[in-house]
Amino acid sequence: MPAKIVLKVTEGSLKGTEYVFTDRTTCIIGRGGDCNPRLPDDKDHSTISRHHCLLDINPPGMRVRDFGSLNGTFVNGKKIGQRDRTIAHREAIKAKFPEHDLKDGDTIRLGMTVFRVSITVPLACSVCSKELTGDGADGGLQTDGSYICTDCKSKQVQLEPVKKPQGADIKRCTNCGNEFPFDPDASEILCASCIENPLQLIKQEAEDDSVNIKGYKVINELGKGGMGAVYLAEQTGTGQKVALKVMLSSAAVNDRAREMFLREVENTKHLKHPNVVGLLDYGNSQGTFYFTLEYCEGGSVDKIMARKGGKLSVAEATHIILQALDGLIYAHNIQIPNVKLTNGSIVTINGLVHRDIKPSNIFYTDTPQGRIAKIADFGLGKAFDAAGLSGYTRTGSAAGTPVFMARQQVINFKYSKPEADVWAMAATYYFLLTGRFPRDFPKGKDPWYIVLQTSCVPIQRRNQAIPKNLAEVIDTALVDQPEIIFKTAESFKKALEGVL
């Protein structure tokens, strides 16, 4: 069972209604017809705005931010986020309102409606992070209040006793086996050396015949974040260069998270198309999640833009977008049979939606047939996010890239219709041609509120050299209120080809 957050209405006309969240998402609460949870548009909620506040959810974490409403949002009876009455609602985006962390038992009051927050976190083994069933009956309660699974408990009795430093427990690193002082409040099960040097971790594993990650020679680091790293590696035996992505177990991933991760990778490996970066291999080794992808030596499109002065010609940008749209058309229409869900049922998945199309997720690679554009991270971003590996950060970075998101996706990040990807592809095309985002995002203004309340700037205002007919198609593709015009990647591509 994953961590779960339940918002239960305890007062008001919606009393008894529950909203359950088990995955990473954002949502807007207000009277607007596009909000979820949606409040009644009646006299009891006349003080509530159409888009009143935003919830940023990553179970078991949750935050709330008022959108500068006239009457504020009440958390545990305390008002947060209220704007000055002399400031118009549309001007509220100029103000920065703080986010508030919510805990189990907290309440949110909006008009006459009161939500109570209930947070459930499953028990997990303090050594290997395996999820424990029931009340931990399959493991044992430790003196520090933590639990240990049966497997780790049986292994623990075989270890030589270690003198316990005052104020710390002793644990054994799941990678190198060395013992180290372990803070009972911490979640890491790797020693400091393995956490701080993931490159060395991979090299050690590559040379160790007992682990599954063997067979790859690390060449150099391509990038590193707080939870993992990406390396250029060479597959021994074939010499094929791959992008090796590694996620460390310091996120304390549980059994359900592993299952979700592997299920998502299982889905992604079915994507076999020239314009989608292919998944080659994946696994878990000594507390380390990893997978390998096709290596695109041309790099990501945003870096290509930077090398060419910040924008691309109509010809080059169009070449990239038409090929990327082919990748979208394929993914949106793929059928993946016999997928086992967590409840045990077997279903056929009809289409995969990316949800984070942007220039940094489109790559170039050279082939005998010429230069090809490929969409990267198709579904893997969602997989790591669901597995708790992306971390929990402030709104604006955790749930995607709002500058390339349609308002429908801002209102509900889990919005997964193909048209959201089509809109993002049009926004990416706009960016390639102008070096600017479709909407203006002035410094200091709330980017989420800007997406909700403003329209895109016509592309010819950014670049007058763009042909009029092409500009009209792009502008049409970026309409997202009240709805997105182009519902499919096929229709957008057909419209582009009609004016090129």
The H or E element containing residue 497 is helix 489-497
* Spatial distance between the Cα atoms of 500 and 33, rounded to a whole number of angstroms: 38
Q: Is the dihedral of CA 161, 162, 163, 167 positive or negative?
A: negative
* Spatial distance between the Cα atoms of 343 and 328, rounded to a whole number of angstroms: 29
In this structure, what are the phi and psi dihedrals at residue 120, rounded to the nearest 5 degrees? -115, 125
Cα torsion 424, 426, 427, 432 to 10°: value is: 130
- Give the residue ranges of DSSP H helices in 378-481: 380-386, 407-411, 418-434, 447-453, 459-462, 468-477
The annotation status of 103 as a binding-site residue, yes or no, is: no
Q: Fill in the DSSP letter of residue 30.
A: B
CA angle 299, 403, 73 (to 5 degrees): 140
- Give the residue ranges of DSSP H helices in 246-361: 255-268, 301-307, 314-333
- Rounded alpha-carbon distances, angstroms, from residue 209 to 110, 235, 240: 59, 15, 20
The H or E element containing residue 21 is strand 18-21
Q: Fill in the DSSP letter of residue 177.
A: -
* Spatial distance between the Cα atoms of 350 and 143, rounded to a whole number of angstroms: 49
Residue type, 452: L
DSSP 100-136: EE--TT-EEEETTEEEEEEEE---BBTTT-PBPPTTT
Which residue, chain included where needed, has tokens 């049409």? 476
Q: Which residues contact 35 (CB under 8 A, 6 or more apart)?
A: 27, 28, 29, 50, 51, 411
Would you say 187 and 251 are in contact if contact means Cβ atoms under 8 Å apart? yes
Cα torsion 275, 280, 283, 289 to 10°: value is: -50
Judge residue 268's burial from the number of C-beta atoms within 10 Å of its C-beta, 0-12 exposed, 13-18 middle, 19 or more buried: buried
* Spatial distance between the Cα atoms of 108 and 90, rounded to a whole number of angstroms: 24
Task: Give the annotated binding-site residues.
Answer: 245
Task: Give the annotated binding-site residues for ATP.
Answer: 245
